[in-house]
């Protein structure tokens, strides 16, 4: 059983979010030679914008980008573009398309991950900004599409159980070796049965060793104690510092649950997934869905 907790213990509000965006995007070369992968558009919004919008919907106030060389354009995207806005205003054009791209001054912080040592290391690089508060993690490659958004669903669950949470999705068993997988415990009779105790975490298990087909899908709410665990952790799978290894040590020490996301996930780390997301979201948009559907039918016919 998890240790008892008070309202002040493992239930502080989640105000900060970490976005690991230091990757080189080599799968998308040559498109990513000069442009960060996170700025490649799904229809007319950069990939990173979908994650930031999801974070805002969930009440996130502070945004921490863990960056590397060549990623300054991500910060520019969330800055005020004075010349662009002045020109648009002078021409009588609405600034509404830019409204979601502004983050309040002081609420966007960048830290550098100088060496590519994996997700756990990237999160650890944000330790000074996170401090002693719980925090969310968004992997922008995972485009989580639904209403309410994935993190909003997780924050609702956090209000019920506190502690640590991961979002999960069920995949065919033969695919589990590509992901982190949970060992599920009891399913809680709240939030439509989408909340499950987590008894263990395994990174990229063999199919025959996998404890379930519930994969961790790019959204996390973690307590600050994970930073101390990451600091002393050695390299794991792939020679990288794995976030999963440190999260697993919190199980039994703190409440730990999985939220099954009620929505769709697109793996925009792959080219096929990126195209799938573009097509699915275009089809779902009121301003273009019918035209895109007609165009697709012609092409497929």
- Of 120, 160, 114, 113, the C-alpha closest to 139 is 120
**Residues 75, 287: Cα–Cα separation, whole Å:** 29
C-alpha dist (Å) from residue 34 to 40, 48, 69, 88, 280? 11, 16, 11, 26, 27
Does the predicted TM-score (pTM) go above 0.95? no
Q: Please enumerate in sequence order all residues whose Cβ is within 8 A of that of 29, keeping only pairs 6 or more positions apart, or say none.
A: none
pLDDT at residue 46 in the model: 96
pLDDT at residue 3 in the model: 42
Cα-Cα end-to-end distance for the chain: 57
Residue ranges of E strands in 157-269: 164-170, 180-188, 195-203, 214-222, 256-260, 264-267
pLDDT in tens, 41-73: 999 999 999 999 999 999 999 999 999 888 899
β-bridge pairing 195-203 and 45-46: unpaired
pLDDT in tens, 123-135: 999 999 999 999 9
Length in residues, the chain:
301
- Of 122, 127, 112, 134, the C-alpha closest to 228 is 127
**Residues 130, 123: Cα–Cα separation, whole Å:** 10
Q: Please enumerate in sequence order all residues whose Cβ is within 8 A of that of 154, keeping only pairs 6 or more positions apart, or say none.
A: 58, 136, 165, 167, 219, 221, 259
Q: Tokens standing for 235? A: 């390299």
pLDDT in tens, 181-224: 999 888 888 878 789 999 998 888 888 889 999 999 999 999 99
Mean pLDDT for the chain overall: 90
**b/e map of 157-169 (b: 16 or more CB within 10 Å)?**
bbeebbbbbbbbb
**b/e map of 266-299 (b: 16 or more CB within 10 Å)?**
bbbbeeebbebbbbebbeeeeeeeeebeeeeeee
SS3 275: helix
Residue with tokens 């040592």: 117
* Orientation of helix 271-284 relative to helix 289-300, angle to 10°: 130
Q: Is the peptide bond before 30 cis (omega within 30 degrees of 0)?
A: yes
pLDDT tier at 5, thresholds 50, 70, 90:
very low
pLDDT in tens, 282-295: 999 999 999 999 99
DSSP 148: S
pLDDT at residue 238 in the model: 64
Residue 6 has pLDDT above 70, yes or no: no
Residue 1 has pLDDT above 60, yes or no: no
């Amino acid at each position: 059983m998890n240790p008892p907790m008070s309202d002040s213990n493992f239930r502080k509000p989640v105000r900060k979010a970490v976005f690991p965006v230091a990757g080189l995007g080599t799968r998308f070369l040559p498109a990513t030679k000069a442009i960060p992968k996170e700025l490649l558009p799904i229809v007319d919004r950069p990939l990173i914008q979908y994650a930031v919008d999801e974070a805002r919907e969930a009440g996130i106030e502070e945004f921490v980008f863990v960056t590397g060389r060549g990623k300054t354009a991500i910060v520019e995207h969330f800055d005020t573009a004075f010349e662009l806005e002045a020109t648009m205003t002078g021409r009588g054009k609405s600034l509404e398309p830019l409204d979601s791209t502004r983050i309040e001054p002081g609420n966007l912080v960048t830290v550098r991950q100088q060496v590519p040592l994996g997700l756990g290391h990237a999160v650890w690089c944000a330790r000074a900004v996170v401090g002693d508060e719980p925090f969310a993690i968004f992997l922008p490659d995972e485009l989580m599409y639904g209403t309410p958004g994935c993190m909003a669903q997780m924050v609702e669950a956090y209000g019920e159980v506190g502690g640590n949470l991961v979002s999960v999705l069920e995949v065919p068993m033969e695919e589990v070796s590509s992901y982190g997988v949970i060992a599920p415990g009891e399913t809680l009779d709240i939030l439509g049965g989408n909340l499950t105790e987590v008894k263990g975490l395994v990174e990229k298990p063999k199919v025959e060793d996998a404890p379930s087909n519930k994969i961790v899908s790019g959204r996390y709410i973690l307590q600050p104690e994970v930073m101390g665990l990451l600091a002393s952790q050695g390299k794991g799978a792939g020679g990288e510092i794995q976030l999963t290894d440190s999260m697993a040590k919190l199980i039994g020490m703190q409440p730990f649950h999985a939220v099954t996301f009620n929505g769709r996930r697109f793996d925009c780390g792959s080219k096929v997934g990126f195209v799938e997301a573009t097509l699915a979201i275009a089809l779902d948009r009121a301003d273009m869905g019918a035209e895109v559907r007609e165009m697709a039918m012609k092409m497929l016919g």
